[in-house]
Structure 1
Amino acid sequence: MGKATVMSMLLLLFSVCTHAQSDLDDAFDKFSALYKQRFGQIRACLNPTTTRFSVCSPALRNDGNAPYILHHSKPTEKVVVLLHGLSDSPFYMRGIAQALFDKGMNVIVPLNVGHGQLVADDDMSDSDLAERWKEHLNDVIAIAPELGNKIYLGGFSTGGALVVDHYLHHPENVAGIMLFSGALALDSGVEKLSRIWGIQWIAGLLDGEYITHGPNPYKYPTIASFAGLELMEVINDIRDQLAQGKTVDVPVFAAHSQADSTTPISGIEDLLAHTTATNTFFVIDKGYKLCHANLVMNQAMVNDLHFNKQNVDLRDPCAVPTKNPLFSQMIMMMDSFVDN
């Protein structure tokens, strides 16, 4: 092989690599712009890595609350958007995101509106909060084609409700849905309360100032009643779409605990009854007594929480975060799902 041929091949390889990185740089710029517009100021994150692009801001409680993208420095065949739950942060998607990244996928983990902030009172009491949640997810999903060809949508708790709602309104270009403790139904008391006329206005008054600091550095100490009612709006929208005859025509992976009293498993069962593709339902028996938020937790995440047990009511079995004892099995089932 002549020197000219070798040089031509090197130049071609350099051109391909540069183009791929340029494509990701554009996606990173768009991702950053979403949070610069929201917070007004962003900054470099501490402890950066070559495979993790994070967007930090002085407005956040800490860098663990920051949105991020796990990437392979080029577009991949499949890309996943993973949205966290109500009152928590992208930290809670860490174990699942890493598993998908290890499968060779780029993974986008956004920060939902009103979350992870030092001050969140204005956002979490905004009468347009549910719509802002939906708009932000739409904006993030619009970036996904630059990172991969087949787009999967995943969500934990409220994030699960929002990705299902997005699919029912915009089913195009979605290859599959993944739900972890998906909030497609709430405690019966909350559901009944949501039917009272004017209850959101009353809830906003009763909530008072939204408290963001507590024993968990990556989750607010309480869920405001107003925000829970905004979630109920999303759930009701999903139910209305299904009642009108819409179906989910892409494969669904759902992992849920039978002991989950926050988001009863019946909501997932109802959704799966309106699907047409082959689904994977990972059910954790009620005998494990696995709490809602702990389904997405592995031991490494529990260790990294450095949860402060002081001033916590230890009589509540869900007060202190613990690992999902079947986390590895859940990931194995998820891996099999995305392989198909």
Structure 2
Amino acid sequence: MRQPRTENLRCFTPRPTFARARAALAGLVLLFTTGCSSSSALYTPGPDRLDANPFVSFEQYQSRVRSYLDSNLVAIDGYPRAQQIDWNLPFRQPAANHCPGDRSTGLLLVHGLSDSPFVFRDLAESLAQRCVEVRTLLLQGHGTRPGDMITADAAVWRTQVSTHFQALARDVDRAFIGGFSLGGALATEYALSGEGARPDGLVALAPAWQLNGLRNYLWLAGVARVFADFVEEEPELNPVKYESVTINAAVQIGEVLKRTQTAIDQPGAGELPLFLVATEADSVINLDYLTGRFHDRFAHPDSRLLVFRDTRQAWPANREDGRTTFFNSYLPDANILEMSHQSLAIAPDNELYGLGAPLQRCLEPNGLSLNACQQLPDTELWFSAWHDGARSVPTSRLTYNPWYDQMVASLTEFLQPAPSRRQ
């Protein structure tokens, strides 16, 4: 597979979506006077909007979304357009043929902001082999062009999640809901809403329950939206995730966070088993909020918290809990300083983000230009979470999870409990 083209990057300052929004909303006045503009179709809404209509079967839904992608997707350079459609397409991964059919388990996974169902390709394949059916969906505004986020609506996202989970619950005996980042917040909100079919448990990978820093500026987004569509228009190098972020995205995130936090704080949240995954070095999600709510609100004995952290450092005594497992994120033999937000759900052999894959190296350098990062020898480049400035050694964002197999084993145990614990 060819590497994506990297020429003409004069405006390219790669940063995670939430970090870009935080920086730009804090300096709101700059939106009205400066910018890196483009007339490209990437930055304008497409001819169609993805709906949240019910569907007869998942295959019908998938066919409908494929037609939508074919009409709306603006391909980026370096990858075949047909391949980009396949990567962004929502999918259903049935349990493997060797699985018993007496008691089926299913999991609906919801992707994050600016992301796509591709982020769950690895988890779906791994869990299907462990007898869990996995389904995904494509949130409105995603998977096609950043311009489609200008008109995306959290109310539609919410309806999509509800429609897909209730369809899954009709087809399996035990139905779980989960998501990554924004998708984790949407899944949490539905799971605790008391509306529709009730999940048997919640899976939240770095859920956007509270954000680092950006929460202090979200109120500006509604004002900024009057004057501009984008926080920044970035050259798009990733075929399965937007680099550019719209101001409307911040408006919709603010609504989702408010409703999710209200749902978490209501009585009864602890009755739902929760599988929560977080990384201590997350540049996007507030870890203190996650761990605090896990201990205070989610009291179910089957709940589990997995934290990727530098185990050379002490863990605060007030966060200790027998339901918590730690994985060391400082792995010098692999040139890894710490785990990143984006890396959690990705296997080391992922075709885009895995070791040696096109997006694994220099996706988001810290304090380095893209070209300078790409020129570094492998032995000199380290991997970490995203940071505002340079680190003690040259780093770019870690794109895969070195503890992926161990995480999947823990998740499988949560989804498929021992027979003695089954009701």
Does TM, normalized by the shorter one, top 0.5?
yes
C-alpha deviation, 1:225, in angstroms: 3.8
Contact between 1:80 and 1:105, CA under 8 Å: does it hold in 2? yes
Q: 1:238 aligned to 257, 260, 264, which one? A: 260
Contact between 1:216 and 1:308, CA under 8 Å: does it hold in 2? no
CA–CA distance in 2 between the matches of 1:148 and 1:305? 35
SS at match of 2:286: coil
Match of residue 103 from structure 1: 130
SS at match of 2:173: strand
CA–CA distance in 1 between the matches of 2:277 and 2:146? 30
Match of residue 10 from structure 1: none
SS at match of 1:268: helix
The percent identity for this pair of structures is 21
Match of residue 280 from structure 1: 304
CA–CA distance in 2 between the matches of 1:311 and 1:332? 28
SS at match of 2:107: strand
CA–CA distance in 1 between the matches of 2:168 and 2:217? 37
Cα distance, 1:231–1:76 mapped onto 2, change above 3 Å: farther
Contact between 1:95 and 1:298, CA under 8 Å: does it hold in 2? yes
C-alpha deviation, 1:320, in angstroms: 4.3
Q: 2:120 aligned to 93, 104, 129, which one? A: 93
SS at match of 1:297: coil
CA deviations over 1:72-101 (Å, ceiling 9, x no partner): 488961111011111111111112112211
CA–CA distance in 2 between the matches of 1:260 and 1:173? 30
Match of residue 178 from structure 1: 203
Match of residue 337 from structure 1: 414
CA–CA distance in 2 between the matches of 1:194 and 1:61? 32
SS at match of 1:254: strand
Report how many residues are paired.
295
Match of residue 58 from structure 2: 28
Q: 1:137 aligned to 161, 184, 187, which one? A: 161
Is 317-326 or 329-338 further displaced after alignment? 317-326
CA–CA distance in 2 between the matches of 1:33 and 1:311? 31
Contact between 1:76 and 1:104, CA under 8 Å: does it hold in 2? no
Q: Are 1:315 and 2:392 an aligned pair?
A: no
Q: Are 1:161 and 2:213 an aligned pair?
A: no
SS at match of 1:215: coil
Moved over 6 A (4+): 308-311
**TM-score, normalization by structure 1:** 0.76
CA–CA distance in 2 between the matches of 1:125 and 1:97? 30
CA deviations over 1:182-238 (Å, ceiling 9, x no partner): 1111012x1111244xx3241463343985862221111133343133122111112
Contact between 2:273 and 2:300, CA under 8 Å: does it hold in 1? yes
SS at match of 2:344: helix
Q: Are 1:65 and 2:65 an aligned pair?
A: no
Match of residue 260 from structure 1: 282
C-alpha deviation, 1:136, in angstroms: 1.0
C-alpha deviation, 1:120, in angstroms: 4.1
The one-letter code of the counterpart of 1:156 is: F
C-alpha deviation, 1:253, in angstroms: 0.4
Cα distance, 1:166–1:249 mapped onto 2, change above 3 Å: same
Cα distance, 1:308–1:261 mapped onto 2, change above 3 Å: closer
Contact between 1:120 and 1:212, CA under 8 Å: does it hold in 2? no
Is 255-264 or 215-224 further displaced after alignment? 215-224
CA–CA distance in 2 between the matches of 1:77 and 1:311? 38
CA–CA distance in 2 between the matches of 1:138 and 1:228? 22
Match of residue 5 from structure 2: none
Q: Once superposed, what is the RMSD of the aligned Cα atoms?
A: 3.1
Contact between 1:257 and 1:283, CA under 8 Å: does it hold in 2? yes
SS at match of 1:178: strand
**TM-score, normalization by structure 2:** 0.62
The one-letter code of the counterpart of 2:62 is: S
Cα distance, 1:41–1:187 mapped onto 2, change above 3 Å: same
Matches within 5 A, 1:107-118: 107-117=134-144
Q: Which one has a larger percent helix, Structure 1 or Structure 2?
A: 1
The one-letter code of the counterpart of 1:324 is: N
CA–CA distance in 1 between the matches of 2:248 and 2:416? 39
CA–CA distance in 1 between the matches of 2:198 and 2:111? 21
Match of residue 300 from structure 1: 349
The one-letter code of the counterpart of 2:413 is: S
Cα distance, 1:321–1:214 mapped onto 2, change above 3 Å: farther
SS at match of 1:295: coil
C-alpha deviation, 1:59, in angstroms: 10
